[in-house]
Amino acid sequence: MSAGNWCLIESDPGVFSELIENLGVKGVNVEELYSLDEGSLAAVKPVYGLIFLFKWDKDLQSGPCIEHEVPDLFFAKQVITNACATQAIISVLLNSEGVELGPELTELKAFARDMPSEFRGLVLSNSEKIRTVHNSFARQETFEIVSEETDKDAFHFVAYVPFRGRVYELDGLQEAPIDHGPFQDDWLATAASVIQRRIERYSQSEIRFTLLAVAADRQAGLEARLAAAQAKLGQPEADAASLQLEIQMVEDELRAAKEKKVKQREENERRRFNYIPLFIEALKAIAASGRLPALQQAATVSLAGAKGAGDKKK
């Protein structure tokens, strides 16, 4: 069976949130984290899993793989290229309690339940629905820049999930999950410690890391809070002033969350749009007007000035 082609997609929370929605999953979105501190993690709770993007180095793995099977823990080997982001997200979703997966992922999870990890990877890679949704976020590029670089850095996504009182790392390039031990009240503290140690193993000049939280949809939570506050407002013993203030705050947060979703959808549409024909027609119009040589000369002078300023700073 052929898995078809999987494109590279941008590491962006808006892309991944819409990808999850298009797979049929309800009430889940992705938030980018800029810090591992307790406050940053608390702001996006409840969190179903973390997705970590890093420069791949076979000598910098975070721990040994487990040698025994963990019942019901969904782990799949990655058997094709360019799919690690989508596979990491699906690994989180299929190991999360209380998530409405939708028919596609529910059926896939049941079908692959008793399969070995490599066969699960094949099931994922051969899912027409998942591949189509993944590839729908491909950038429209008319021109391809051919590079002779052979030592280009490779980047990789892995997932961290809580499962039956322990934190597991799910990396499709490994033979099995990595067990990072038990947690008491907050699994995110354990996962954050593991990720921090992993980052520290790289040189100080390496800053190309991305951390994403697969979390409950913030808009749905705010709508529930708003409804609860409005219901209390009509009760005789209610503190009307305090509730009005809470309602105003929640409405402001809800408005911001909705605007964020709209903006993310607009950005995703721009990613899909092919701007090359527009640029070509614009250049044709400028050339026909006779202004192209003057603009080209002005750009050349500007570029030379910028380069000279840069050389002086050195």
Task: Please list the active-site residues.
Answer: 84, 156
Break the chain down into helix, strand, coil percent, rounded to 5: 50, 15, 35
47-55: strand order across its sheet: 28-33, 210-216, 47-55, 155-163, 166-170, 178-182
The answer to whether 6 and 48 are in contact (CB under 8 A) is: no
Tokens of 217: 């949809």
CA distance 148 to 224: 54
Q: Identify the CA nearest to 188 among candidates 37, 31, 16.
A: 37
Q: Rg of the Cα trace of the chain?
A: 24
